[in-house]
Amino acid sequence: MTTTLNTGRPATEVAATGTPQHPVLVWKFGGTSVADQHRLRAVAERMVAAQRAGHRVVAVLSAMGRSTDELSRMAYQMSARPQMRELDALLSVGEQISCALASMAVHELGSRAMSFTGGQAGILTDDTHGNARLRDVRPERIIAALNDGAIALVTGFQGVSPDGAVTTLGRGGSDASAVAVAAALGVSECEIFTDVPAVFTADPRVVPNAKRIHELRHEEMLEMAEAGAGVLQPRSVELAAAHGVDIHLRSSFSTEKGTWIRRGGSAFEDAEVAGVAHRHEEPVYAAKGVTAAEVTMALAERGAAIGAILPAEHELRFSAPGVDPAEVAAAMDTLDTQLSTHLELGTVSVVSLGIARKPALVARALRTLALAGIEPEFVTTTTGRVTVHLAAARVDEAVRLLHAEFVESGAGTVGTPAVDDSVATVTDLHQAPRDGAGAA
């Protein structure tokens, strides 16, 4: 479901805070980009240089490195089912540390910065803890800081509920924070700096000759993200599409161009696939004596979504894509049931919009795997992809086979490939942990 923001001010009025001589830049830096003091200083230098070049800078920061994972681990050591309100209060701390330290670094460089929590920045959400929905962004304090000549630093991943409690936007939520702030400011572009140089047609660690993609449409990137490509949070892509914000995903460690996700980015009817995405782990759980509705509600109360539902004779089997097993266990703990892991599976997805009109593509994908002796446990489809659920040990092999079949064969991938297909600088791409996955 796409979130519609009420910015609280007409877009033309907000956009007027940036002039052609002093345009507003909205940047987001992920967890790896601010992993330590050295990298925070580098981010500060980049922001100060842009400001001195005549730009007004708004930067949304993630928590440093994998600090969010560490905070989550501490929470589950303290309680098997931590209260969601208090879990949000704990997990939101990391972004505040990043912003405060970055502000200090900016001041050391002779410029000024002001750090804001999500609430101070006017990021208003509903009262759902763990995966709150954005309701409004009122950026008056951000605008005031820009007008005062300061760099505005905003904590990603968090907002504030109607009763004033801290809420979080789900893993990778800093991406959504940045896009929402850009939309509220009337800025048409948002640059997301990460530890990868671009979006690729597959994870280069699995497929060394994966192709860099210069440009994608929002819809294509959303399907890739939903299928496991961890470079962007799916909700951020939804927001960008809904509010007309183009995303430039690029490396924080270089000045090279990355991948643009924008309207009309490619002519999809003339092409076949956007790429192949995967998850190394997507287990199927089994619970006895519960209904699909009960399981779905229990997961939703902890900010998690159910995936496939597989009714069996004496139990309900289900998946929860991208959800930590500890969260699944905590959700099921509220029900009178015993939870077990039925199958240790992973997934491989071929992304192709309008796949319902391409039955031959699905058949071709399954035939390619069958010829290699890979039998799926089950297959799911959406409007934009076919996902094969298979033994986790064979995920990498399946990715390489499908990439060779649909991309390397020259079958017509979507988007515009970059001229340089080198992946030598890639440290991480489609699978967690990635920039923004370990730190929201």
pLDDT per residue rounded down to tens, the chain (440 residues): 445 565 544 443 444 455 656 899 999 999 999 999 999 999 999 999 999 999 999 999 999 999 999 999 999 999 988 999 999 999 999 999 999 999 999 999 999 999 999 999 999 999 999 999 999 999 999 999 999 999 999 999 999 999 999 999 988 899 999 999 999 999 999 999 998 899 999 999 999 999 999 999 999 999 999 999 988 999 999 999 999 999 999 999 988 899 999 987 554 344 578 999 999 999 999 999 999 999 999 999 888 889 989 878 889 999 998 888 888 998 999 898 989 987 789 999 999 988 878 889 999 999 999 999 999 999 998 889 999 999 999 999 999 999 999 998 765 444 444 433 333 222 233 333 345 333 34
Tell me: do 189 and 285 sit in the same domain. Answer: no
CATH number of the CATH domain containing 188: 3.40.1160.10
Cβ contact 315:287 at 8 Å: yes
Tell me: do 327 and 230 sit in the same domain. Answer: no
CATH number of the CATH domain containing 328: 3.30.2130.10
Residue that terminates a domain, selected from 265, 293, 323 = 265
Report the 10 Å Cβ neighbour count for 140.
13
Tell me: do 55 and 197 sit in the same domain. Answer: yes
Q: Which residue has the tokens 């089950």?
A: 378
Tell me: do 26 and 123 sit in the same domain. Answer: yes
Q: How far apart are the first and last CA of the chain?
A: 21
pLDDT at 194: 92
- Domain-embedded: residue 239: yes
Tell me: do 303 and 401 sit in the same domain. Answer: yes
Amino acid at 328: V
Tell me: do 61 and 165 sit in the same domain. Answer: yes
Helix 395-403 with 359-371: angle, nearest 10 deg: 130
Domains in the chain, number: 2
- Domain-embedded: residue 5: no
Tell me: do 77 and 218 sit in the same domain. Answer: yes
Spell out the alpha helix ranges (H) of 275-324: 292-300
Report the 10 Å Cβ neighbour count for 117.
17
Distance CA 209, CA 318 (A): 34
Question: Can you tell me whether residue 277 is helix, strand or coil?
Answer: strand
- Domain-embedded: residue 438: no
Tell me: do 249 and 325 sit in the same domain. Answer: no
- Domain-embedded: residue 58: yes
pLDDT at 20: 59
Strands (E), 148-273: 151-155, 158-160, 166-168, 189-194, 199-200, 212-216, 246-251, 259-261
Tell me: do 86 and 227 sit in the same domain. Answer: yes
Distance CA 139, CA 8 (A): 8
Report the 10 Å Cβ neighbour count for 147.
10
pLDDT at 310: 86
Residue that terminates a domain, selected from 231, 265, 299 = 265
Q: What range defines the domain where residue 343 resides?
A: 275-414
pLDDT at 3: 52
- Cα angle value 202/63/225 (rounded, 5°): 25
Q: List, as one string, the DSSP characters of 241-261.
A: HHHT-EEEEEETT-----EEE
pLDDT at 48: 98
pTM across the whole model = 0.84
- Cα angle value 108/16/172 (rounded, 5°): 60
- Domain-embedded: residue 435: no
- Domain-embedded: residue 166: yes
Tell me: do 343 and 296 sit in the same domain. Answer: yes
Tokens of 67: 């600090």
Question: Rounded to the nearest 5°, which phi and psi values hold at 316?
Answer: -105, 125
- Domain-embedded: residue 371: yes
Tell me: do 199 and 296 sit in the same domain. Answer: no
Q: For CA atoms 219, 400, 348, 412, give the dihedral sign.
A: positive
Residue that terminates a domain, selected from 265, 284, 303 = 265
pLDDT at 232: 92
- Domain-embedded: residue 437: no
pLDDT at 21: 64
Tell me: do 294 and 391 sit in the same domain. Answer: yes
Number of residues that this document lists for the chain? 440
